[in-house]
Amino acid sequence: MERRRIVRVPASSANLGPGFDVLAAALALHVEVEVVETGRFAVETDLDIARDRRNLCVRAFERLHPSDRFTFRIRSQIPLSGGLGSSAAAIVAGLVAADHLFELDADVFGLACEVEGHPDNVAAALYGGVVVCGAGGAVARVDPPTGLEGLLVVPHTAVRTAQARAALPAEVPLADAVHNVACTALLTLGLARGDWDLVGRGLDDRLHEPYRAHLYPRSAELVRDARSLGALGATISGAGPTVLVWTHYEQTAAVAERLRERTAGWAQLLRVPFETQGADVRALV
């Protein structure tokens, strides 16, 4: 009997404003990967991704077991560019599938970090919720508070992650570093308490968003204007150019209407809940 697994993994938004390379949140857009022991290798997908062993999901799977006898059927709601953790989701899906198929009890998080190169998106994809990534592979998570919602503004024009990384300075003023430490503390405390005022006050960044604003000026303008549109605030998702607009559920519809006017013609608007569930795997008979 052929072995089959379906793995479902959420998208993620990293940095969350001040928490550069430290904070991330899972979002309710998902990649779904069905891995079937068909006796032959194949990647079946309608997505514009590699269909050979360069495929990220396959590469991750092969960190734990050869893929020669397996077919990978890949579907995804996650935009492939824009800073929504599509690569982290694919990596986690491949590792979780192999780990579950062969009952390996592997260090999926550690391996995923090695493949991806950084822990924030990986942690959110694997564990769900809002995650804090610390030194030595430490990860803490909290469930997003009830009533917190997200609106995603996904520009039609992508920005390469390497270009966004290259825009960052090697050093920053001490005052800006202190500002970000304070905002990160306010944000995490606000999320843990469900304190909307602290969440809104904690979304401000000085370490990466200002230095990348020239790469996506319309996204940067939305971040600056989010509070005037009725939102708690907004952050650049990962390296950008996608914007995560943070709202309380009572505000979301009105904020979405204003955003539709602002983004017409250059971006897609998605209403996406924060996701408490991380990677999930099912065996199929």
Considering the domain architecture, whether residues 12 and 117 belong to the same structural domain is answered as yes
What angle, 0 to 180 degrees and rounded to 10, lies between the N-to-C axes of helices 249-263 and 217-225?
A: 150
Q: Is 140 annotated as a binding residue?
A: no
Q: Is 237 annotated as a binding residue?
A: no
Proportion of the chain in helix, strand, coil states, percent, rounded to 5:
40, 25, 35
In this predicted structure, what is the pLDDT of residue 81?
A: 77
Q: What is the residue type of 157? A: T
Distance CA 77, CA 226 (A): 25
Q: Is 81 annotated as a binding residue?
A: yes
In this predicted structure, what is the pLDDT of residue 137?
A: 86
Q: Is 228 annotated as a binding residue?
A: no
Q: What is the CATH number of the domain that holds 268?
A: 3.30.70.890
Q: Is 123 annotated as a binding residue?
A: no
User: What range defines the domain where residue 87 resides?
Assistant: 4-142+278-284
Considering the domain architecture, whether residues 123 and 218 belong to the same structural domain is answered as no
Place of tokens 């606000």: 190
> CB under 8 Å to 152, separation ≥6 — which residues?
27, 84, 237, 242, 243, 244, 245, 268, 269, 270, 271, 272
User: What's the average pLDDT block by block, 10 residues per block, for the chain (285 residues)?
Assistant: 89 97 97 95 92 95 95 94 91 96 94 94 97 92 95 93 91 97 97 96 97 96 97 96 96 96 94 96 75
Considering the domain architecture, whether residues 134 and 92 belong to the same structural domain is answered as yes
How many distinct structural domains can be found in the chain?
A: 2
Q: Is 200 annotated as a binding residue?
A: no
Considering the domain architecture, whether residues 23 and 137 belong to the same structural domain is answered as yes
Written as six digits, the tokens of 117 are 């190169």
In this predicted structure, what is the pLDDT of residue 3?
A: 86
Distance CA 150, CA 134 (A): 25
